Chains A and B, each alone.
Chain A
Amino acid sequence: MGRLAFLVGRRVGSLMLTLVAVSALIFLVMDVLPGDPAAAMLGTSASEETLAALRHAMGLDLPLIVRYGRWIGGFLSGDLGTSLTYGVPVAGLIAERLAVTLPLAVLAMTLSVALALPLGVVAATRKGGLADRLATLFAQLSVAVPGFWVGLLLIAGLAVGLGLMPAGGFPGWNAGVCAALKALVLPTVALALPQAGVLTRVTRAAVLEVMDEDFVRTARAKGLTRRAALWHHVVPNALPPVITIAGLQFTFLIAGAVLIENVFALPGLGRLAFQALSQRDILVIGDVVLLLAALTIAVNFLIDLGYLVLDPRLRAATS
């Protein structure tokens, strides 16, 4: 257990370093972004003295490192500053948008796993057969097709064409769970499809690899049916690589969400960052990008940690 604690400690240390580096990088970029927040607030007619006074009041004249410290300190205590364009605390703004992006990401991840696991397992067990060919074709196509294009086609077909689904926008969770979920159906499909393609391929490869293992042969030799061996021995052992890739894909899921939210006019984090950019609301951009990056790092860290706890072989291997 001491060894595990040491390894976990080392990973936590490296997680912290990564977070500090990412946030410093984002802060530096924010700092060199053109546009003076004080000038943006006061407009073009403000005198030089008023500008200087406001800059001082906002702490913009402090050294870079102090401003970085304040930003991170605020971030950790939940105070993300005040948005220039919305005039409200960024924390509240982000929480509001997270209520759209997070369910969208979770739904899309769930749908893609629900599609990919059975497809991948079926493809692997019928390797070379028709089912395998179809699953591989599905995977190849869904990886290549841009999610935002799928979104456009879904809108053209199901929303504009047949009028079955809302073409975009979000009624809010207050409008009822059904209405809100209905607005998320098409975006979820568009976001999940490329992920499903990637995960189908990974599942297929992982299942094929485990099927070759000695313990599966032993299980079969002991008289287990093909089906029992598959579900009790092959699939559980094929899951770790699938989970890893699903975690790594989280970066792409977030990137996809930015696009999909813009296609469907969903008031999520991606759209918030995009709108903030066009309004030069630098603080909002920085906060959102840091939050999404931290989320990505955290997901990968948890997967890494989960491995370490679940698989004793890794503890020996990383010595």
Chain B
Amino acid sequence: MSASRHGSLIAGSVITGALVAVAVVSRLWTPGSPTRLAIADKLKAPLVHGLLGTDQLGRDVLSLLMVGAWNSLSIAVVAVALGAALGVALGLTAAARGGLVEALVMRAADVVFAVPPILSAMLLGAFLGTGPRTAVTAIATFMVPVFARLSVGAGRRVLARDFCLAARAAGKGQLAVTMQHVLPNIAPQIAVQVALQLGLAFLTEAGLSFLGFGLPPPAASWGRMLADAETYLGVAPWLAIAPGAAIALAVLGFNLIGDGLVDLLDPRER
């Protein structure tokens, strides 16, 4: 049981580590050029031209995939970092203040949560234009209520514990108690949520760029590679395989880390 518990964490870390490694390597080296067009070599099958073949413009699919890893990873990380920072700050403020502040934060969380990121991206896309800003804003906006709700509940439970009351009684201010006592105690739960939300952010980013709300061409993106592949499904079905598998693997990695952390932090969990 203990082996399988650590199994999730290890498997997740290996997958995610590989993803990060590929993303970093793509900054320095790719097997072919992800931007140079070579129409003569278009739609070549895997192994005929490069490991994974070429796309409709003759670009090397493996190279596009590697660069796409960096692009998706940076959008997901920035979006989750923004969403988590803002959400935790709002949630802890609500937990510390209670009353009207808490009611307002929770209500605002309901409001934002009712608009899925794909829809808010559509609204934002018409306003900010399509591009990484729209994708990051739409994903981060959706993450804020997730982290706010989590830290309101968790924060309130910690605040009610004796050591927080003691710290308050000893004369520490609310901000100091929150930063020194509450935040460290809810950090593990936030870490779990960060891992799971990174997976969700990857999925959403892929969906957004599939619809054309991600990075504009010629930047490589897994979602748009799938959108392109749909056009050539009849002649080059293999184009649809690698980017989708890459997305699934990346999400699986983050989810396994999240599950592994849950098991590690809470021994009562199965």
Contact = CB atoms under 8 A, between A and B. Distances in A.
B127 A34 contact: yes
Given A127-B270, A251-B116, A280-B126, A152 B111 contact: no
B3 to A, nearest CB: 12
Given A29-B127, A285-B126, A255 B207 contact: yes
A274 B122 contact: yes
A18 B111 contact: yes
B187 interface: no
A25 B111 contact: yes
B116 A149 contact: no
Given A18-B110, A255-B116, A259-B211, A149 B248 contact: yes
Interface residues of B, number: 43
A17 interface: yes
Interface stretch (B20-28, B41-49, B91-99, B229-237): B229-237
B183 interface: no
Contacts of A33: 123, 126-127
B155 interface: no
Contacts of A65: none
Interface in A247-301: 251-252, 254-255, 258-259, 262-263, 270, 273-274, 277, 280, 282, 285, 289, 292-294, 296-297
Interface string B28-52: 0000000000000000000000000
Given A21-B111, A33-B126, A148-B226, A259 B118 contact: yes
B135 to A, nearest CB: 14
Interface residues of A, number: 52
A146 B244 contact: yes
Contacts of B178: none
B115 interface: yes
B244 A289 contact: no
Interface stretch (A36-44, A48-56, A153-161): A153-161
Nearest to B230: A152
A289 B256 CA distance: 33
Contact of B270 (A18, A208, A251, A282): A208
Contacts of B247: 145-146, 149
Interface in B200-257: 203-204, 206-207, 210-211, 226, 229-230, 233-234, 237, 240-241, 243-244, 247-249, 251-252, 255-256
A152 B147 CA distance: 33
Contact of A289 (B1, B119, B233): B119
B108 interface: yes
A216 interface: no
Contact of A149 (B107, B127, B244): B244
Given A146-B244, A149-B247, A259-B211, A155 B233 contact: yes
Contacts of A161: 237
B117 interface: yes
A26 interface: yes
Nearest to B129: A34
B119 A273 contact: yes
B124 interface: yes
Contacts of B125: 277
Interface in B169-192: none
B215 to A, nearest CB: 17
A110 interface: no
A297 B270 CA distance: 32
A148 B207 contact: yes
A143 interface: yes
Nearest to B113: A251
B199 interface: yes
Nearest to B243: A149
B141 to A, nearest CB: 11
Given A146-B251, A270-B118, A273-B122, 12 more contacts: A21-B111, A25-B111, A32-B127, A35-B126, A140-B252, A144-B252, A145-B251, A160-B233, A161-B237, A251-B116, A258-B119, A293-B119
Q: What are the 8 tightest A-B residue pairs by CB atom distance, in nearest-first order? A: A149-B244, A255-B116, A144-B251, A144-B252, A293-B114, A255-B118, A145-B248, A156-B237
Interface of A: 14, 17-18, 21-22, 25-26, 29-30, 32-35, 127-128, 140-141, 143-146, 148-149, 152-153, 155-156, 160-161, 205, 208, 251-252, 254-255, 258-259, 262-263, 270, 273-274, 277, 280, 282, 285, 289, 292-294, 296-297
22 contacts: A18-B107, A33-B123, A140-B252, A141-B248, A141-B252, A145-B244, A145-B248, A146-B207, A149-B247, A152-B233, A152-B240, A153-B241, A205-B270, A254-B116, A255-B116, A255-B118, A255-B207, A259-B207, A270-B118, A274-B211, A282-B126, A292-B116
